[in-house]
């Protein structure tokens, strides 16, 4: 029997919209997968990119950033900062060989419980498709540790080296 891969996803939510959307999804008894762990911020603009890298480095397989729709930020325009950071983070992750799709941005107002639930569901499926990231498989240990590797690749049937 093969076990299905259950991704760990960290969701950053805005106090004024998406966190309440998640609340609404709960009170409306909408079902969405339990893979997402929500962290409430006062605003998506509070999202330091450090949070995203820390989540991925410590074992998350994906990160979902949620905030107020453009133009509706409680703090006027901080969600636009989140938008720009999101774009730059995705480009940087690509350089690390991490699929940029592991980070997702969703706008969800306090009334959009249904949208929040459906976006979460589809994101979990997308990450399941991508497979585990395993960055933190050594529980935060630095990956370079362990046994040193022999040199590779060895050339195929190397010519006799002149003495």
Rule CB under 8 A: which residues touch another protein?
A: 48-50, 52-54, 56-57, 70, 77, 80-81, 83-85, 87-89, 91-92, 94-98, 135, 142-146, 148-155, 158-159, 161-162
How open is the CA angle 38-4-139, to the nearest 5 degrees? 60
| CB 1 to another protein: min, Å | 27
Residue 3 or 150: which CB sits closer to another protein?
Answer: 150
Residue 85 or 104: which CB sits closer to another protein?
Answer: 85
| CB 93 to another protein: min, Å | 8
Strand extents, DSSP E, 5-121: 9-14, 36-41, 62-67, 103-107
| CB 46 to another protein: min, Å | 11
Q: Which residues contact 11 (CB under 8 A, 6 or more apart)?
A: 22, 36, 37, 38, 39, 63, 64, 65, 66, 120
Residue 34 or 70: which CB sits closer to another protein?
Answer: 70
Six token digits for residue 85: 């950071």
| CB 42 to another protein: min, Å | 16
Residue 22 or 55: which CB sits closer to another protein?
Answer: 55
Residue 1 or 146: which CB sits closer to another protein?
Answer: 146
| CB 24 to another protein: min, Å | 26
Separation CA 111–CA 113 (nearest Å):
6
């Amino acid at each position: 029997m093969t076990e299905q891969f259950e991704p760990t996803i960290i969701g950053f939510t805005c106090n004024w919209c998406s966190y309440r959307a998640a609340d609404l999804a709960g009170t409306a008894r909408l079902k969405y997968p339990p893979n997402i762990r929500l962290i409430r911020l006062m605003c998506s603009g509070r999202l330091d990119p450090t949070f995203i890298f820390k989540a991925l480095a410590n074992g998350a397989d994906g990160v979902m950033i949620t905030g107020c729709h453009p133009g509706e930020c409680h703090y006027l325009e901080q969600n636009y900062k989140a938008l720009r950071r999101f774009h730059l983070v995705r480009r940087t992750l690509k350089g690390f060989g991490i699929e940029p799709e592991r980070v997702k941005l969703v706008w969800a107002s306090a009334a959009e419980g249904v949208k929040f639930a459906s976006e979460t569901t589809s994101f979990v499926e997308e990450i399941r498709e991508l497979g585990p990231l395993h960055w933190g498989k050594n529980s935060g240990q630095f990956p370079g540790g362990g046994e040193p590797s022999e040199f590779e690749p060895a050339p195929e049937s190397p010519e006799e080296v002149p003495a």
